[in-house]
């Protein structure tokens, strides 16, 4: 019944979703069936948010639900389990609401720092870094969390301490000693581009990149020959390449890109 209702809604055969169907969407947000989870439930949440069918209170209520322990932090710390889908797709809904609020300004401004805290807590705690899972589709927790961070990075209500938390969450994701396969570094790089574009913190980003790459250099010396340390360096290098291209394409962050280029030139194997 849920699948049919959502198919009708997405195909414009049903103009609105009932409260009962919306409640069922919350219940099944992390269903391991990729078609139901990704193609129907998530897409219906996006349409519901963007189509102005909800009033300000309903939008805020929706956001407050998906950042609860039973959603964004559901069984946080589990590895290789289906619980990752609930966490990951809750993060995507957070991103959709924040992006909507940037344009429409429907949320209580006081709630935004709390959402930053919830999302950064999630990113600092997530250990299931799988991307695409055979027969179950995308988990992509790090990428989806990065999308939520990116939306928050654009929000006019975030404060200096929120920016620090966001950067810390990005750094933690880069230092997980994981072989990312599905462009997670690129999604994390969008957070940096958005902070520079929307928050005017170029000097802060320069200092952060200097600290980030300094830690990598120190680890490479102290753990010479360690494959884990090499993987972290490769992850950070891929991340910096993405930052460089994004900033260059957007014609912003020239000072940051100068520093990034110097690091890449030093780290890359140039014949």
CA 201 to chain centre: 20
Strand segments, DSSP code E, in the chain are: 132-133, 137-138
Report pLDDT for 225. Answer: 78
Is the entire prediction scored with pTM above 0.85?
yes
**Domain range 54-267, CATH architecture:** Alpha Horseshoe (1.25)
**Pseudo-torsion of CA 128, 101, 36, 27, nearest 10°?**
80
Planar angle of CA 174, 176, 178, nearest 5 degrees: 95
Q: Which residues pair with 137 in a beta bridge?
A: 133
Q: Map out the domains of the chain as residue ranges.
A: 54-267
Report pLDDT for 223. Answer: 84
Planar angle of CA 73, 23, 4, nearest 5 degrees: 115
Tens-digit pLDDT string for the chain (271 aa): 899 999 999 999 999 999 999 999 999 999 999 999 999 999 999 999 999 899 999 999 999 999 999 999 999 999 999 999 999 999 999 999 999 999 999 999 999 999 999 999 999 999 999 999 999 999 999 999 999 999 999 999 999 999 999 999 999 999 998 889 999 999 999 999 999 999 999 999 999 999 999 999 999 998 887 899 999 999 999 999 999 999 999 999 999 999 999 999 999 976 5
CA distance 212 to 32: 36
Report pLDDT for 147. Answer: 99
């Amino acid at each position: 019944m849920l699948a049919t209702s959502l198919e009708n809604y997405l195909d414009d055969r049903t103009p609105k979703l009932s409260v009962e169907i919306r409640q069922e969407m919350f219940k099944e947000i992390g269903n391991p069936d990729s078609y139901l989870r990704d193609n129907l439930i998530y897409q219906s949440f996006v349409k519901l948010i963007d189509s102005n069918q909800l009033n300000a209170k309903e939008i805020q209520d929706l956001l407050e639900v998906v950042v609860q322990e039973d959603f964004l932090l559901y069984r946080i710390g589990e590895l290789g389990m289906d619980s990752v889908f609930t966490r990951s797709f809750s993060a995507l809904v957070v991103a959709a609401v924040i992006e909507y609020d940037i344009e429409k300004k429907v949320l209580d401004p006081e709630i935004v720092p709390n959402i930053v805290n919830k999302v950064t807590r999630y990113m600092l705690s997530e250990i299931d870094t799988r991307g695409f899972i055979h027969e179950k589709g995308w988990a992509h927790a790090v990428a989806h969390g990065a999308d939520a961070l990116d939306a928050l990075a654009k929000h006019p209500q975030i404060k200096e301490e929120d920016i620090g938390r966001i950067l810390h969450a990005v750094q933690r994701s880069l230092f997980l000693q994981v072989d990312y396969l599905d462009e997670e570094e690129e999604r994390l790089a969008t957070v940096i581009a958005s902070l520079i574009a929307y928050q005017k913190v170029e000097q802060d980003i320069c200092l952060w990149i200097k600290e980030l790459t300094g830690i990598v250099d120190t680890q490479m010396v102290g753990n010479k020959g360690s494959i884990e340390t090499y993987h972290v360096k490769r992850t950070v290098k891929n991340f910096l390449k993405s930052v460089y291209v994004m900033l260059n394409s957007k014609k912003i962050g020239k000072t940051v890109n100068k520093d990034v280029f110097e690091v890449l030139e030093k780290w890359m194997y140039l014949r």
